[in-house]
């Protein structure tokens, strides 16, 4: 082999190696690009999910704020913008939480022995948490004392309307057993024959307030009930008015609004 041939072969080998290196770099660059794209997709989905959770949380807070305004106006007998202990003790179950002096004092930030609308609103999440914890404890007690199966199906509850009445009064149970509850309250014959249980559900304003889709479904399915229960009808009318004015809820629930 002469020097020229050797140089040519060496050059050709170097070129092949360079081509291989180039291919390797292209593959590496492609993989890097794919990883970057995948990361963007993952983080975008996480951001979308977080935004969705924030939207839901804001909507729930809007509903709680409306509910707080409604119950406050109903309990504020002298319309001075405050609730004293007498007004709270005379009020409906909407203010049961504050009939406990511990919680009243905790919410009364300026210690004037009255609750403003804002003071009540600032504690409404805590109020909900305490109430649901109590509901869960009571439910556990019922289950432990019951010799029947520990999970209640719709069929079980249809045979035990007194237990259904207790569970319909529980925000916690309704939130965690939405499908079972729906099977009960959409059975018009069962509702007709078990009015006490249905009364408990329609009196559970905390749950109705933050579950507008279910609430509207109940109002639409039972117009006769609303006509004969003025307090429930007033609540339903106020809630529907609020939903119509809410930019997000009005679109989501448009088909249910009347």
Enter the pTM of the model. 0.75
Per-residue model confidence (pLDDT) at position 29:
55
Rounded average pLDDT over 189-201: 96
| Summary mean pLDDT of the chain | 84
The residues, ordered by sequence, that sit 6+ positions from 201 with a Cβ below 8 Å of its Cβ are 168, 169, 181, 185, 207, 218
Q: What does residue 255 show for φ and ψ, rounded to 5 degrees?
A: -70, -20
Residue 205: which of 159, 248, 174 has the closest Cα? 174
Q: Does residue 8 lie in a domain region?
A: yes
DSSP 80: S
Residue partners of 187: CB distance under 8 A and separation at least 6 = 158
Q: Is residue 135 part of a domain?
A: no
> 54 to each of 58, 158, 175, 193, 208, how far by Cα in Å?
6, 37, 19, 41, 21
pLDDT at 9 over 50: no
Q: What is the pLDDT of residues 59-94, one digit of tens each?
A: 999 999 999 999 999 999 999 999 999 999 998 789
Question: Tokens for 197?
Answer: 């249980």
In a domain, 99, yes or no: yes
* pLDDT tens for each residue of 90-100: 987 899 999 99
Q: How far apart are CA 212 and CA 55, in angstroms?
A: 15
pLDDT of residue 186: 94
Task: Kindly state whether residues 9 and 117 are assigned to the same domain.
Answer: yes
Residue 131 resides in a domain: no
Residue 248, C-beta contacts closer than 8 angstroms, at least 6 positions apart: 55, 59
Same domain flag for 17 and 113: yes
CA distance 152 to 143: 9
24 — pLDDT class (breaks 50, 70, 90): low
Q: What is the pLDDT of residue 11?
A: 45
For residues 111-135, average pLDDT? 92
Pick the closest to residue 93 from 127, 58, 117 (CA basis). 127
106 found inside a domain: yes
CA pair distance 75, 61, nearest whole angstrom: 21
Please name which of 146, 126, 139 lies closest in space to residue 175, comparing C-alpha atoms: 139
Does the pLDDT at position 148 exceed 60?
yes
Residue 32 lies in a domain: yes
Split into its structural domains, the chain has a count of 2
Indicate whether 159 belongs to any domain. Answer: yes
**Do 179 and 223 belong together in one domain?**
yes
The token duo for 216 is 């509207």
- Judge if 157 and 245 occupy the same domain: yes
Please tell me what DSSP assigns to residue 253: T
Structure tokens of 152? 């209640």
Asked if residue 36 lies in contact with residue 28, where contact means CB atoms within 8 angstroms, the answer is: no
Listed range (34-43, 50-59, 204-213) with the worst mean pLDDT: 34-43
Domain interval for residue 222? 153-256
Burial of 65 (0-12, 13-18, 19+ CB in 10 A): middle
Which of 29-38, 161-170, 204-213 shows the lowest mean pLDDT across its residues?
Answer: 29-38
Q: Which residues contact 30 (CB under 8 A, 6 or more apart)?
A: none
């Amino acid at each position: 082999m002469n020097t020229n041939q050797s140089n040519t072969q060496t050059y050709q080998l170097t070129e092949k190696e360079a081509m291989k290196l180039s291919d390797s770099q292209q593959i590496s660059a492609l993989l890097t690009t794919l990883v970057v794209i995948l990361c963007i997709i993952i983080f975008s989905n996480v951001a979308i999910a977080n935004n969705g959770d924030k939207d839901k949380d804001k909507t729930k807070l809007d509903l709680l704020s409306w509910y707080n305004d409604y119950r406050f106006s109903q309990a504020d007998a002298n319309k001075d913008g405050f609730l004293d202990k007498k007004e709270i003790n005379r009020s409906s179950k909407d203010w049961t939480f504050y009939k406990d002096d511990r919680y009243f004092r905790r919410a009364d930030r300026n210690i004037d022995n009255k609750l403003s609308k804002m003071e009540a609103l600032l504690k409404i999440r805590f109020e909900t948490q305490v109430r649901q914890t109590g509901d869960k404890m009571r439910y556990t007690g019922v289950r432990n004392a019951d010799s029947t199966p520990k999970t209640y199906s719709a069929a079980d509850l249809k045979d035990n309307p007194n237990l259904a009445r207790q569970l319909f009064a529980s925000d916690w149970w309704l939130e965690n057993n939405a499908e079972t509850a729906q099977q009960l309250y959409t059975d018009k014959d069962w509702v007709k024959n078990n009015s006490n249980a249905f009364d408990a559900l329609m009196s559970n304003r905390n749950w109705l307030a933050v579950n507008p889709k279910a609430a509207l479904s109940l109002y639409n399915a039972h117009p006769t009930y609303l006509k004969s229960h003025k307090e429930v009808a007033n609540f339903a009318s106020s809630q529907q008015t609020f939903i119509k004015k809410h930019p997000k809820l009005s679109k989501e629930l448009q088909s249910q609004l009347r």
